[in-house]
Structure 1
Amino acid sequence: MTVVAPVFGLIGMGFLAARTRLVTERSGDGLAEYVFALAIPFLLFRTIVEADLPDALPWAYWAAYFIGVFAAWTSATVLARRLLGRSEAEGVIFGFAAGQANTVMVGVPLILKAVGEAAAAPLVLLLAIHLPVTMTVATLLFEGSALRPQERSGRRALLRVVRSIATHPILIGIGLGLLVRQTGLQPVGAAKTVVDLMAASAAPCSLIAMGIALDRYGIRGEWRAALAISVLKLVLHPLLVYVLARYVFALPPVWAAVGLLFAACPSGINVYLFATRMRTGEAVASAAVSLSTGLAVVTVSAWLVFLGAAR
């Protein structure tokens, strides 16, 4: 509970501020836009530049985790399209919510506390690529969904996707991080202070923005969809990751435990920020993040008991 309490506290602060009309809905939109266009890119830039990656990359470990992401993401997309009759674009939001985890506010403190110092290496290896991979995939899928059927092949489709990638703030942050990492010209002094301050603002500002959104959209209208996404995110995803890590790729128990707990984190706030940016599925995104965060108190505790019994 001590891990998710700050998450609820910041969401609740935004909710109460909007409910009492201390802030307006427009301020929530502006805050979400700031986080998506500036704070998150700086956070990704810093993560990529400062990540301590080994010479031999752990492809089996990443495969175990992202196969789980693919399964949860695909299941949520099928649910949205086939059972709930949602649009293809909203199906991307469903999938993103089921596959992207809240690592900054929940994952890092939870895993380090539960597993200890041995978790540092496998944790960093997932942190370094988790958001860049999921955000890139979500962007490409969403841009593809925006094309008419007759536009999905040929030069026009390619130009649209390339233009979206070149101007997307998240992907710009990732690209600059990779470039700086390769050149070794890391920011120092005042430049590093700016990067650190911008990155540090991402988590609290995004959670307050989502609290403001909850006042606007509520959770009741999307509780069934949010519950289905939560089950995929909190149960299916970590289960698949653990089975693959331990019994298919035969990874060490600590690595399997980190992968499971990383996957067991609730839907990440970036899902809501992405939905707001794209003006699609904001209600289901805010509901999924809120409900999965609440349910994670129970499910994460259950996974911790399971890991203790599995040792």
Structure 2
Amino acid sequence: MQALIEVILPVFLVIGYGYLARRQGWVSDELVDNVMKFAQNFAVPLLLFSGISKMDLAQNFHPPILISFYAGALSGGLFCFLGARYLFGRDLTDAVAIGFIGLFSNSLLLGIPITERAYGEAALAGNFAIISIHSPLLYGIGIAAMEIARTRGLGLSGFGLMRQIARSVLRNPLILGISAGWIVNLTQITLPVPVWDAVSLMSRAAIPAALFGLGGVLLRYKPEGDMRIIAWAVFASLVLHPAIAYGLAHFGFGLDIGSLRSATLTAAMAPGVNAYLFANMYGVAKRVAASSVLLGTGLSILSIWCWLAILP
């Protein structure tokens, strides 16, 4: 109960505040969108830049933690895709978009604040290692699968497909922040103190702004119909993904407690808003994606509590 009150509840209260503010009309949809744009295009990329540029690669960029997390992510995505395609009989492009729900957890907007509140800022190194390849890898997989599903092998060459994937991925501000962090880390560039101070100021605004904006955005996602497939996708995100990550990290690789916590908690987060943005970008399975994000975020209050109780 203490973990629920002290760790999880403050994060979801900020989300709830954003939800209430939009529901009551205290803020407009335009303001919510602008808050999210500020967070996702400016503040959060700088948070990622700061975390990755200062990350100890030898200690934290550890293949077993990445294998544990991403094996769970890929399993969740495949579970959703196969269920949508063969159990629920959805169109191939719909199935790809639904698969993306199980693939893409909210590792950033929920994973970072939950981990920090539970275990302190020093515990975030493993999270940043996971996040450093999260968007490039999973968006690359999702876009490639969708383009193949849309063309069915026609009209798009291998080179054209690779160019489409690269264009879509490299335009993402989060990936630009991640890339800049990698450059500074690997080249050991020394930035002036005022620059780091400015980055720190912006970084501190990232999570509160993103959580408030997320609450406002979630008001738009009303769960309607398709409840069986929505439940299937939410199960993949909240149960299957973290269970596989925990099993591999703990029993397979015997990771230290810090890495085990980062891999499991990051995997235990609800489907990210990017799951809806991906579906919206292609105009398929939007209702399933939106409802999965909303219901998964609400139910994750309890599922995260359970995972915090399981973790040492």
1:138 aligns to what? 138
> Counterpart amino acid of 1:237?
H
Q: Counterpart of 2:269 in 1: which secondary structure?
A: coil
- Say whether 1:124 aligns with 2:113: no
Q: Which residue number in structure 2 is paired with residue 210 of structure 1?
A: 214
Q: Which amino acid aligns with 2:161?
A: A
| Partner of residue 74, structure 2 | 70
Aligned-residue offset at 1:71: 0.6
Name the CA distance, whole Å, in 2 between partners of 1:44 and 1:194.
Answer: 14
1:38 match: 42
Task: Please say if residues 92 and 138 of structure 1, whose CA atoms lie closer than 8 Å, have aligned partners that are also in contact.
Answer: no
Report the Cα distance in structure 2 between the residues aligned to 1:232 and 1:140, rounded to whole angstroms: 20
Which aligned pairs between 1:274-285 and structure 2 lie closer than 5 A? Answer: 283-285=287-289
Q: For residues 262 and 172 of structure 1, what CA distance do their matches in structure 2 show?
A: 21
| Deviation by residue 1:253-311 (Cα, 9 ceiling, x = unmatched) | 66445533332233345545666777766654453344233323333333344446xxx
Q: Secondary structure at the match of 2:57?
A: coil
Task: Answer yes or no: is the 8 Å Cα contact 1:151–1:157 preserved in 2.
Answer: no
- Aligned-partner Cα distance in 2 for 1:233–1:58: 23
TM-score by length of 2: 0.78
Unaligned runs of at least 5 residues, structure 1: none
RMSD: 3.4
Say whether residues 1:79 and 2:83 are aligned partners.
yes
2:60–2:125 Cα contact (<8 Å) kept = no
- Which of 244, 247, 251 is equivalent to 2:251? 247
What amino acid is the match of 2:299? L
Supply the AA of the counterpart residue of 2:184: V
CA distances 1:174-210 after superposition (whole Å, capped 9, x unpaired): 2111111122224333322332233333322223333
1:181 corresponding residue in structure 2 = 185
1:43–1:202 Cα contact (<8 Å) kept: yes
Name the CA distance, whole Å, in 2 between partners of 1:277 and 1:193: 36
Question: For 1:60-117, what per-residue CA distance to the aligned partner results, in whole angstroms no more than 9, with x for missing partners?
Answer: 2321222111111221233344445556665555444434444456545655676x68
Contact 2:104–2:138 under 8 Å retained in 1: no
Correspondence 1:47 to 2:48: no
Does the alignment pair 1:12 with 2:16? yes
Q: 1:89·1:142 contact (CA, 8 Å) conserved in 2?
A: no
Residue 234 (structure 1) aligned to one of 234, 238, 257: 238
Unaligned segments of structure 2, at least 5 residues: none
Distance of 1:44 and 1:279 partners within structure 2: 29
Amino acid at match of 2:135: M
Equivalent residue in structure 2 for 1:168, among 143, 165, 172: 172
- Per the alignment, residue 199 of structure 2 pairs with 195
**Paired position in structure 2 for 1:299:** 303
Mapping of 1:79-158 within 5 angstroms? 79-84=83-88, 91=95, 93-103=97-107, 106-108=110-112, 110-111=114-115, 120=122, 123-125=124-126, 127-144=127-144, 145-146=146-147, 148-149=151-152, 150-158=154-162
**Following the alignment from structure 2 to structure 1, what is the Cα–Cα distance between the partners of residues 200 and 93?**
34
Deviation of residue 135 (structure 1)?
Answer: 1.0
Alpha carbons of structure 1 residues 79 and 198: separation in structure 2 relative to 1, 3 Å:
farther
Aligned sequence identity (%): 29
* Corresponding residue SS for 1:4: helix
How many residue pairs get aligned? The number is 304
Kept after mapping to 2: 8 A contact 1:36/1:273: no
Cα separation, 2, equivalents of 1:220 and 1:36: 28
Deviation at 1:148, TM superposition (A): 2.9
Tell me how far apart the structure 2 counterparts of residues 40 and 186 of structure 1 sit (CA, whole Å).
Answer: 21
